[in-house]
Structure 1
Amino acid sequence: MKSNLTRRAVIAGLAMAGAPALSRRAAAELPQPPHSRTICYIGGYTQHGPPGGSGNGQGISVFEMNTDNGSLSPLMTYVDIASPSFLVISQDSRYLYALSEIDDFNANHEGCVTAFSVNRKSGELTKINVMRSGGAIPAHLSIHHSGKYVMVANYMGGSVGILPIRPDGGLGDPTDVVKNTGPRMPDRASDNPPGNFAVSDHSGSHVHMVASDPSGRFVLACDAGLDRVYVWTLDLHTGRLVPDAKAPFINMTPGSAPRHFAFNEKGTMIYILGEQDSKVVAATFNAQTGEIVPQQTVSTVTPHFRGSSLAAGILLSPNGRYLYVSNRLGDSLASFHVNDDGTLNLVDEIWMHADYGRSMMFDPTGSFLFCANQRSDSVTSFRVNAATGELQFTWNFTPVGSPTTFAFLNTI
């Protein structure tokens, strides 16, 4: 692990801790540290990346956020990790988990997940252990609502891996690996934007996201290769996934490549993003049965748009009144108003000010929205109007090699 904080600076800080106390006046004149800082972790693709997908990143880059203007100042970089393209922090902020989007962790051509402990005061990370992901090229991970398991979506492996969390925050060997199968689907959807030449890989199962519903009763996964959303329950004692008896999966539009989803706070609505056709399906979700019933399909690009587009990230505002989607190739951010019945109205589509925006995330206050722009090697930020949903570009560009993911922490 490397960091731009040198050993000399650390030793000097420790020496100062043992120095004679300053006078009250002198101490008062020194800059006083804030009681809490906002730390932003950014991951992405490194030279050791997925086949044909190596990037310019160095590892996990750590920044401090200016909560007044949304700018990010570099603190350190953890380089002892390959292509950490997705990060997640535990609910108690004690641990950070980072997948490595690779296929050469072991002889079975799997990716892996690294567990870190988090220093709540400084934001520094300490590696605990590294565990296989249960499949090749993991693309997404989340922590189950119970806090007992990390769930991994293995894209090329076409599988979901369930990794138990040890008492020390480290990870155990997968308790279950579920592989999906199904018929070959078309590479393009019939409801594509006009002139869209972009394709999504439908050569087989490609699990792109896995997460539990807000109640923790169900586990859902988007399979972008089979055009399905799977529904399971998770046995918390054995760590095994059990297919939902009534609706083990729902078929989406052929070729649409369901990529990510977002739940409303109550867990009664689910918004499923199609990568290939740049559409959002708003559906009701039955928290008792796991049934998904589509109610509406809306485009993430305006009716004026022509050309190639691939939708990437989907995010609900903290107040649940607005939904945002990032569009790659078209380099835009779409904002939707969420109606009382959960349906959506496209409010605006604005320029991302960078190329190939992928994941998005709000800072802990919800005042700023950050976007990871993979091909521009930059992060851009937007000030959020909570009342109207409007996004205003801050003109803050943060250089990060091939960024794809965020995680935020408030220090104590």
Structure 2
Amino acid sequence: MNKNLISRRSFGLRMLGTSITASSLLPALTKKLYAAPLPAAAVNPHDRILCFVGGYTAHRPKGTDGNGPGITVFEMDRKTGNLSPISVFTDIASPSFITLSHDKKFLYAVNEIDDFNKEGDGSVTSFSVDPASGNLQRLNVVSSGGAVPAHLSVDHSGKYVLVANYVGGSVAVLPIKPDGSLDQPVEVIKNTGPRMPERAEDNPPGNFAISDHTSSHVHMVQSDPTGRFVVADDAGLDRIYVWSIDSKTGKLTPAQYPYLDMTPGSAPRHFVFSKDGKRLYNLCEQNSKVVYSHFDPTTGKITPQQTVSTVTPHFKGSTLAAEIVFSHNEKFIYASNRLGNSIAVFKVSPDGLLTLIDETWMHADYGRALMFDPSGTFLFCANQKSDSVTAFRANPKTGKLDFTWNFTPIGSPTTFEFLVVPK
């Protein structure tokens, strides 16, 4: 590789970038079911809200900082959004993405490593969750079915954990045992395709950051809201893959339309479905674009409708988009921009089209994961290079974000999960 090129994993160590608007500089002085976000109305005002945060530890992939302790449990202040630490599970390697089971009794974490076994796989760790304290008890650790897993989710049926292996270029299906622990993969699919360019032609001007296109790099995998299909973003092959899943065996079969080719070099990374499953919003890392598509819940066909930038036309320089989330009322979509250090705010029109209405400073560096608390009041950002979590109060009518001035110190954070604990 050309030594002048800078990879997505090392660029943040060598350059800093900021993308802000004048309004975002002003301090805010006041402020077994399908695993969709818990609607705000379902959260009793007296319930406690716990937040799990994972990230990179000393045992980590090459080219990343590893300052994290493991998985830390916080309690969220319902009025301010402040996170107070409760406990930490330290005996775990780089839990860079975590998810809860549909019944919230179990937590699953990828271990983003490549030395779990002689094959060079990563792994997945299962935990039972104390329903009162959120404390974690490890159940078991199994192979992820490929190297350096970057994402996992529980399928619609609640029977399987789906894993995206980034370096391994594969999707794995792991059965969930009755006690919540995991069995060995029953399906491992390795994607193949032509070599793609390191950068997209429609990059923001002056973008020196690149995404690795040397091979398949699966970055996210999740069921569609109907449970008929499993969808995966491959950031290395610039494709969105679609399979049908057999809920009895966990086997995956290519859908009628097995994949959609995205813009060469764009690196599709993460996506979000509308609740009805008919709209799919895909975030492309390399060119910092959101692609809105119609999704046919009967065939799995993806039909693109619109492509919009996550940065304003004024922005120049390096940026890599990271995460995309809906507001609870689905009127707004938010996307994080690493290097540019901003959160894009989109208004969603009744026909699903997006309009960029704001770009808010993260108040930190290299923000990755975004997640709303279960009430839909606060949006949290995991800032990997700043070793902190920042919190914003979201206006449900305008979509605008107000910084709470709450900084939570934690090493190399990359992922969140929330748990509601009834009082």
TM-score norm. by structure 1 comes to: 0.91
> 1 CA distance for matches of 2:376 and 2:99?
17
Cα deviation digits, residues 144-186 of structure 1 (max 9, x gap): 0000000000000000010000000000000000000000000
Which residue is equivalent to 2:393?
Answer: 383
1:237 aligned onto 2:254: no
- Compared CA separation, residues 182 and 124, structure 1 to 2 (3 A): same
Map 1:149-298; keep pairs closer than 5 Å.
149-244=160-255, 246-298=256-308
> 1 CA distance for matches of 2:62 and 2:92?
16
* Mean Cα deviation higher: 121-130 or 364-373: 121-130
Q: Aligned with 2:277: secondary structure? A: coil
Unaligned runs of 5+ in 1: 1-33
Which residue is equivalent to 2:155?
Answer: 144
Which residue is equivalent to 2:56?
Answer: 45
Please point out which of 384, 393, 397 is paired with 2:407. Answer: 397
Aligned letter for 1:381? A
> 2 CA distance for matches of 1:353 and 1:68?
21
Aligned letter for 1:258? P
> 1 CA distance for matches of 2:315 and 2:54?
31
Which residue is equivalent to 2:419?
Answer: 409
> 1 CA distance for matches of 2:119 and 2:65?
20
1:67 aligned onto 2:78: yes
1:105 aligned onto 2:116: yes
Cα deviation digits, residues 330-379 of structure 1 (max 9, x gap): 00000000011101000100110000000100001000000000000000
> 2 CA distance for matches of 1:53 and 1:216?
35
Unaligned runs of 5+ in 2: 1-44
> 2 CA distance for matches of 1:35 and 1:221?
38
Please point out which of 337, 350, 362 is paired with 2:360. Answer: 350
- Structure whose alpha-carbon radius of gyration is higher: 1
Aligned letter for 2:90? V
> 2 CA distance for matches of 1:233 and 1:401?
38
Please point out which of 337, 344, 369 is paired with 2:347. Answer: 337
Aligned letter for 1:77? V
Q: Aligned with 2:172: secondary structure? A: strand
> 2 CA distance for matches of 1:214 and 1:189?
30
> 1 CA distance for matches of 2:172 and 2:63?
24
1:306 aligned onto 2:287: no
How far 1:235 moved relative to its partner?
A: 1.0
> 1 CA distance for matches of 2:62 and 2:148?
9
How far 1:36 moved relative to its partner?
A: 3.0
How far 1:55 moved relative to its partner?
A: 1.1
The alignment-based identity, stated in percent, is 64
TM-score norm. by structure 2 comes to: 0.89
Which residue is equivalent to 1:9?
Answer: none
Please point out which of 116, 122, 138 is paired with 2:133. Answer: 122
Q: Once superposed, which parts of structure 1, at least 4 consecutive aligned residues long, lie more than 3 Å away? A: none
> 1 CA distance for matches of 2:50 and 2:115?
31
Kindly indicate whether the alpha-carbon contact (under 8 Å) linking 1:48 and 1:54 is maintained by their aligned counterparts in 2: no
Please point out which of 355, 367, 373 is paired with 1:363. Answer: 373
> 2 CA distance for matches of 1:350 and 1:51?
31
How far 1:91 moved relative to its partner?
A: 1.4
Which residue is equivalent to 1:88?
Answer: 99
How far 1:411 moved relative to its partner?
A: 1.3
Which residue is equivalent to 2:90?
Answer: 79
Q: Aligned with 2:323: secondary structure? A: strand
> 2 CA distance for matches of 1:131 and 1:192?
39
